[in-house]
Structure 1
Amino acid sequence: MITVEQLREDVSAGAVDNVIVVVPDLQGRLQGSRLDGHHFLDDTLRVGFPACVYLLATDVEMNTGPGYALDAARAGFGDLLLVPDVATLRRLPWDEDTALVLADARWPDGTPVPFAPRQVLRTQLDRLADRGLLAFAGTELEFLLFTDTFRQAHERDYRGLVTATRHNVDYSVAGVTEIDPVVRRIRREMRQAGLRMESARGECHPGQYEMVFRYADALTTCDNHAVYKTGVRQIVTQEGLSVTFMAKYDAGEGNSCHVHLSLRHVDGTPVFAGGGSPDRPDLAGMSPTMAHFVAGQLACLRDFTLLQAPNVNSYKRLAPGSFAPTAVAWGRDNRMCPIRVVGEGDSLRIEHRVPGGDANPYTAVAAVIAAGLHGIEHKLPLEPALVGDAFGTTDRPRLPASLAEAVSLWEASEAAHMGFGSDVVAHYAAAARAELDAFAATVTDWERRRGFERL
C-alpha cells in the first residue's frame, strides 16, 4: 500500500504514469478507468471521477435493463461519481508503472449508492459500529488453473481444456511442482501489492489451488479479495495460462470461498470468546453473543443464500455429494456443516462455507454480518451442534437447490428487507432474475446431446 504523498513522488519521478480507479460491480469485478497520474492527483482526488450508472446494474455480459432499483436507460445512461478511497491505493507489480485505487459509488449529490456492493457491506459495518463492534474477516478462495490461454479456451468453447495438474493434489508438495513458477509469482506479487499471505496449497480438483491471506477488517479483506482475483487473471494471462473461479467447472470438486469472521469491541477485545454453558459442551468457550450470532446464521441461511451463491452455476456446487454444504446446521470443527465454529480464545470464529469462488466478497460478508445481527437483536437461542455427517442428514432444512428458489426466498424474507432495505433486496433480485432469464434462453450442450437424434 502507498500514501498519496508516495504516489505524488512516483508520478513526478515517472515511476507511475497511470492510476486505475475502480468500483466493484454486482459480480464483484473491478470496473473502472485508467487515469493519467497527474490528472488523478490534481482533479480526481478533489472531485471524483464520473462513470456510467449502468456499471451497477448489469449482468455478467454487461447487459442492463429494467427491474433493477436503478433503471440505467431511464436515467439516460448518465453518470454516478467514483470517489477514491485513498486507503486502498497501491502499486500493481503485474501492471508496469501503474497504481490502483478502489472507489465508492456516489450519486451526483454526494450520497452513497445504496446497492453498490461496497456500500452494502459498509451499511452492515455501520450497524455493527452502532453497537460498538467491529468485524474482522478472511476469505479462502480457490481457483482452477489451465495450460490453455484464455483465447484458446474461448475458441474451444471452454471444452477439452488441460488442467495444470493431473491429479488430486490436496496438501501435496510434489504434486504442484509443475505450477510452482506461476503460483510463486502470484504469491510474491500479491505480497508486493499489500496482501499478507498466510498459506497456499494444492486442492482436490486437478489444477486447483488455494491461497489464504491474513485476516483484516472486513472491508479491507473484501477489497484485497477483489484485487487478488483481478490480479490472478492478469498474471496467468501474461504467463500464457488461464484460470477460472466459477463455482463448478465440471463434475469434479467445485471452487469454494469460505469466509472466516469474528467480532471485536472497539477497544480490540474479542466478542466471541468467553462464557459457555455447563450443560452444553458444544458451547464451550463461546460467549452468549457468539451463540446468538451463530443462531442468526442458521435463521437466515436459506434467505440470504442469494448473496453468497448469486449464479445459476453456484448451485451445481451446493449439491449432494459435492463436499459442499446442503443442510442448515452448525458444528464445532465440522467441515460438513455450512457454519463451522473453529479456533479458541481470541481466535474463536465462524467459518461460513456456503460461498463459492464466484461469490461477490462484499455481499457474501455483508450477508454473514446481517444474519449475525439478526440473531443478536432477537437473542435467538442456538440449537445443539451437529456431530458427524451433515451431508447425509435428512431431518434438517436444506439450502436452496437452485437460483430460482434462492431469489424467491430472498424477496420474501422479512430479515432481508429489515437488514438490507427493500431497494437493495429488489436490486439483487433483479440481478438474479437477469441471470435466470439468460440461462432459460440458452440451448445447452446437454439438450443437444439428449435430443438431436432421439427426440
Structure 2
Amino acid sequence: MTPDELRAAVAAGEVHDVILALPDLMGRLQGTRIGSRHFIDEVMVDGSSAGFGACTYLLTTDLDMNVVAPAPELDPDGTGYGDMVLVPDPATLRPLPWDQGTVLAIADARHPDGRPVTVAPRQALRTQIEALGALGLTPYAGFELEFRVFEEDYPEAARKHWHDLTPTTRGNVDYALNGLGRLEPFARRVRREFEQAGMVVESARGECAPGQYEIVFRYDEAMACADGAAFYKTGVRQIAAQEGLAATFMAKFDRFEGSSCHFHVSMRGEDGTSAFVGDGQWGESELLRHALAGQLALMPELTLLFAPTVNAFKRLRPGAFAPVQAAWGPDNRLTALRLAGSGESLRVEHRVPGADADPHLALAGVLLAFRHGIEHRLELPEPTRGAPTADAPRLPETLAEAATLLEGSEAARKGLGDDLVDALVAAARAEWAAFLDSVTDWERARGFERR
C-alpha cells in the first residue's frame, strides 16, 4: 500500500486504525494503534515533525517486558527512560486482512533531535546495507521460517503449562500432500491473507515435526526481507489466535525437529547483476569466495545474533539437521553455509538462525560477516563434503558461551557498535541467569527419588 492509497482508503472510510510498530531486541513488533486520520495528518508527514513518541525502554526489555539490556544511548543521564520518536517507513505500509480496517507501518527509532537510535535492530541492519552500498553492492535475501501449530488455543496451552499439547498433524508430514489435518485450513488462511497483505508466496509445505509448517516468500532487498519476516511471525500468531489454535516459533519445542529461520542471501553490483556469479568451480565469483570466508571467520562470535535464547541451543545439537560447526559446501545441507542455485540465482543459504532469532539482527550479522570477508579479502578453505570434520571451528554450545564470544568480538563492536553489543550480551546473560535459577522437568524426572 502506498501513502496515497492509504489516504484514499481513509477518506473512503475503509481504514480506521494504523498500527505503528517497532522491531525490538526480541524480534517482536511492538507499537501502538493510531487513529488513521491522526496518522496521516500528524505522524506520516514530511520533515522533523514526523513520527510518534514511545518510551525508549522498548529497546531494553526481555520477553516479559523487564528491562534487562540497558543502553547508555537510551538513558544517558540515568534520569529515567524518556521518549524516542517512531518514524514510519512509508514503504512498509500493509493492510491487515485478519484485522479489517487496520494498516501496519513499521517504524525507525530516532532520538528527538533526529539521530538514529543505534541499538534499534532495524538501524543495525540499515548500517550493514549502507556499508555494502559504499562498496557498490546491494544485498538481497529470502527467508525460510518454520513454526509449530497446536490444537489448543493460547489460554488453554498456558493452563496446561505447555505440556501434552496436541499437534495439528499426527506425525512427520514433510512434503506430504495428505495427513495435514487441521493444519492445512489454518495454513491456507495464512497463505491467502499474507498474499492480500502484499507478500508473494513461493511455496509452502508441512515439515518434519508434528504440526510443523513452512512458508517461503519471494526474496527481496534485505530490509524488506527482514521486515517481512517480523511481520510474518506477528501475523501467524494473530491468525492462530483467531482460529482457536496456538502457534510457536520456539527453536526447539520438544524432541522432534527444531524450527529454523534460514536466510538465502545474494548480492547485486552497480549494474544490477549478481556479484556472486563468476568463473569459479561452482560458478562463483572471487567476491563470493571472500564473502563466504568472512562468514566462516566470524560465525562463532556472531552466533548470539542467530541463537539469542537458551532454547535456541537445544536446536543446535549434533545430528539434528542444524549446524554445530562453521563449514560450507556446495548444495550441502549438513553445513552451516550451503551454496545454492546457479547463474543469477546463485546464493548462500545461512542455516544457523532458529525461528526465534530476531530477523533484523540475524540478517545484520550475516551481512556484517560478508562485508568482513570482502574488505579483508579472506581466503576460502576447501568445501566440506558430507558432515563437517572435527577440524572445522565449532559454534558455541550454550547461550552463555555465545554471549562471551560476542562480547569479545572486535568485528562485532566495530560493525554493530558497543551499545548494541553490550545490550545483547546483557540480555543473554539475564536469560541465562533466569534459566539457572529454574528447575526443569528433566531435572525432576532425573533426580527425584525412584524407590
Q: What TM bracket, shorter-length normalisation?
A: over 0.9
Alignment size in residue pairs: 446
Unaligned stretches of 5+ in structure 1? 277-282
In 2, Cα distance between equivalents of 1:266 and 1:19: 36
In 2, Cα distance between equivalents of 1:334 and 1:167: 26
- Residue number in structure 2 paired with 1:429: 425
- Residue number in structure 1 paired with 2:164: 160
In 2, Cα distance between equivalents of 1:209 and 1:117: 26
Superposed displacement of residue 198, structure 1: 0.3
In 2, Cα distance between equivalents of 1:66 and 1:420: 15
* TM-score of the pair, normalised by structure 1: 0.95
Matched-pair contact (CA < 8 Å) for 1:22–1:100? yes
Moved more, 438-447 or 208-217: 438-447
- Residue number in structure 1 paired with 2:277: 273
Counterpart selection for 1:139 from 134, 137, 143: 143
Counterpart selection for 2:416 from 412, 420, 444: 420
Matched-pair contact (CA < 8 Å) for 2:68–2:427? no
Matches within 5 A, 1:53-202: 53-65=56-68, 67-70=70-73, 74-202=78-206
In 2, Cα distance between equivalents of 1:175 and 1:310: 33
In 1, Cα distance between equivalents of 2:69 and 2:199: 38
Counterpart selection for 2:353 from 352, 355, 380: 355
Q: Which amino acid is 1:199 matched to?
A: S
- Residue number in structure 2 paired with 1:321: 319
Is 1:378 matched up with 2:376? yes
Superposed displacement of residue 407, structure 1: 0.8
- Residue number in structure 2 paired with 1:48: 51
Secondary structure of the equivalent of 1:395?
coil
In 2, Cα distance between equivalents of 1:403 and 1:360: 15
Secondary structure of the equivalent of 2:279?
coil
Render the CA deviation track for 1:384-429: whole Å, top value 9, x for unaligned: 0001123xx3222211100111111111112112222222211211
Superposed displacement of residue 267, structure 1: 2.6
In 1, Cα distance between equivalents of 2:117 and 2:172: 44
Render the CA deviation track for 1:118-165: whole Å, top value 9, x for unaligned: 000000001001111100000000000101101100111000000000
Deviation beyond 6 Å, 4+ runs, structure 1: none
- Residue number in structure 2 paired with 1:279: none
* TM-score of the pair, normalised by structure 2: 0.96
Superposed displacement of residue 71, structure 1: 5.9
In 2, Cα distance between equivalents of 1:48 and 1:419: 27
Secondary structure of the equivalent of 2:379?
coil
What's the % identity of the aligned pairs?
Answer: 54
Moved more, 7-16 or 186-195: 7-16
Counterpart selection for 1:218 from 217, 222, 229: 222
Superposed displacement of residue 348, structure 1: 0.5
In 2, Cα distance between equivalents of 1:66 and 1:131: 33
Matched-pair contact (CA < 8 Å) for 1:68–1:430? no
In 2, Cα distance between equivalents of 1:400 and 1:190: 36
Matched-pair contact (CA < 8 Å) for 1:339–1:352? yes
Render the CA deviation track for 1:86-141: whole Å, top value 9, x for unaligned: 11011100001101100000011110000100000000001001111100000000
Is 1:367 matched up with 2:365? yes
In 2, Cα distance between equivalents of 1:49 and 1:55: 14
Matched-pair contact (CA < 8 Å) for 1:69–1:424? no
Unaligned stretches of 5+ in structure 2? none
RMSD after superposition: 1.4
